Amino acid sequence: MTRPGEDYIASLDDGRTVIVDGERVGDLAKHPIFAPSVASVARLYDVSHDPANRDLMTYESPSNGQPANLAWLVPTSREDLKARRLAIEHWAKQSFGLFGRSPDHVASFFAGFVGASEWFSKGGKKYEDNLLRYYERARDEDLYLSYAIIHPQVDRTKAPHEQPEEHLYASIVDETDNGVVLRGAQMLGTGSAISNHIFVSCILPLPKGSEDYAISVSVPCGTPGLRIYPRRLYAGGATSRFDYPLSTQFDETDSLIVFDDVHVPWENVFVNRDIDITAAQFHETAAHNLGNTQAQIRFFVKLKFILGLARKLSECSGVIQSRPNQLDLGELAARVAIPEGMVLGAEGSSTVDSNGVARPNPKMLYAAMTLQPRLYQEIIFALREMTGGSMIEVPSSNLSWGDPVSEFDYGRYVRWPDTDSRERVKLLKLIWDIVGSEFASRAFQYEMFYAGSNSVVKGRSFANYPWGEATDLVDECLAGYALEGFEGVD
């Protein structure tokens, strides 16, 4: 069943090895820099566990009748997709769309996996059974799964098995009676440091010879031999919540994951050295579709937040009265509406596949993902353009208000017509944290790469567009005339 935030917090104290600046971080929930991120995830769990949100956020687990987060639901109808969307949107609003890999992301992938679980039985019935049992456990215990499904950038010109050393990337190095042994590294586990389990696989196409790397397993974060190396958390450089309101709350962490002969019991192994099934699990099932639909819902919430900042800025500074500003906001609003429209369109034209799983229309989903990096860049640019130097002309920190001279000067010179200095600086520092801070810059990189480089995403758009819809029109047009036949105009 859904769990309260305090249960999630307690679950992180599992002996995991998280290494920062060469030192082992103990219980992350008690660590001053990780604690705010943990608290933000705990808040998500509190929201889904709140009886007031039961109808919005949960459905009845088929195993025990208890409420389960809707992200685990295998959708079989358009109504199911809508229910999933509303739950995902409500969660996304808790972080203003800033938690990309909230627990509903990988849960959505698993909903896709189990909707076509027979793919996993192609390697042996036991793997399908493992998947189904694991999914039920993760759903009913409301686990936070993160994933690491990309190889680190060692030599992109060579296949995994041709790298300078064997097992450089996460791969099976041994098999025992009890399970498999993993060795190597994987990137880039967003949320992994503060999740419960890491799903490890490879979404990149694998050539023959790379069978050891063709895996799909789940590893509890406290497993011996598993080392998690997060990048620097941006809260560490923040002077206060007032100065960096987003960096200090919504840093979801990104980590390099190292497997130093990590034992994975059979019950957590879903694909064992099979290149075809490893690829099929993402794209033949609805997993990639449902997981990335979650990502687009989260994305449009974030864009609305940015649009809200632009509007608020215009109102506070008084330029909202000016026609050019209204036109700028109108154009920004148009861009912000695109991904939401795509999500709704994909849902409205969804189909039920041969397994009975409802899938949002991939034409619109992959179109939205393809446009995402450029759209985000344009929206951030537009907000930057509206602020000019005002985001820079702010006090170095909240401490400035402790000094009467600074307070007087800022109060007199840094204000808007109906907005005093503190409120103005508060808003501008918030805007800086989404367009200019290190946190903001990472968020930009995230929107550009979270689903692969843009060439990979464009490839998905190419592969999923029903080209006949376009080329049939051209054929019809071409068929309407010939070499002769234009009689001129009487």
Ligand X SMILES: Cc1cc2nc3c(=O)[nH]c(=O)nc-3n(C[C@H](O)[C@H](O)[C@H](O)COP(=O)(O)OP(=O)(O)OC[C@H]3O[C@@H](n4cnc5c(N)ncnc54)[C@H](O)[C@@H]3O)c2cc1C
CB of 400 to ligand X, least distance (A): 32
Give all strands (DSSP E) within 26-139, no chain letters: 58-60, 67-69
CA-wise closest residue to 192 among 449, 17, 434, 437? 17
Rounded CA separation 284/252 (Å): 29
Residue 183 has φ and ψ, to the nearest 5°, of -135, 150
CB of 27 to ligand X, least distance (A): 23
CB of 204 to ligand X, least distance (A): 8
Burial 332-348 (b: 16+ CB within 10 A, else e): beebbebbbebbebbbe
Collapsing DSSP to helix, strand or coil, 184 comes out as strand
Residue number, 411 or 436, with CB nearest to ligand X: 436
Residue number, 212 or 251, with CB nearest to ligand X: 251
Say if residues 120 and 113 touch (Cβ distance below 8 Å): yes
Q: Is 418 exposed, middle or buried (0-12, 13-18, 19+ CB in 10 A)?
A: exposed
Residues that bind ligand X (CB under 6 A): 101, 147-150, 153, 156, 187-190, 254, 442, 445-446, 449-450, 452-453, 455
The token duo for 110 is 């698993």
Per-residue 3-state assignment (H helix, E strand, C coil) for 85-99: HHHHHHHHHHCCCCC
CB of 76 to ligand X, least distance (A): 28
Q: Computed over its alpha carbons, how large is the radius of gyration of the chain? A: 25
Residue number, 426 or 442, with CB nearest to ligand X: 442
CB of 448 to ligand X, least distance (A): 7
Residue number, 80 or 252, with CB nearest to ligand X: 252
CB of 254 to ligand X, least distance (A): 5
Residue number, 134 or 147, with CB nearest to ligand X: 147
Q: Tell me, what DSSP letter sits at residue 308?
A: H
Place of tokens 């609805």: 286
Say if residues 261 and 199 touch (Cβ distance below 8 Å): no
CB of 129 to ligand X, least distance (A): 26
Residue nearest to ligand X (CB): 190
The token duo for 396 is 């170095």
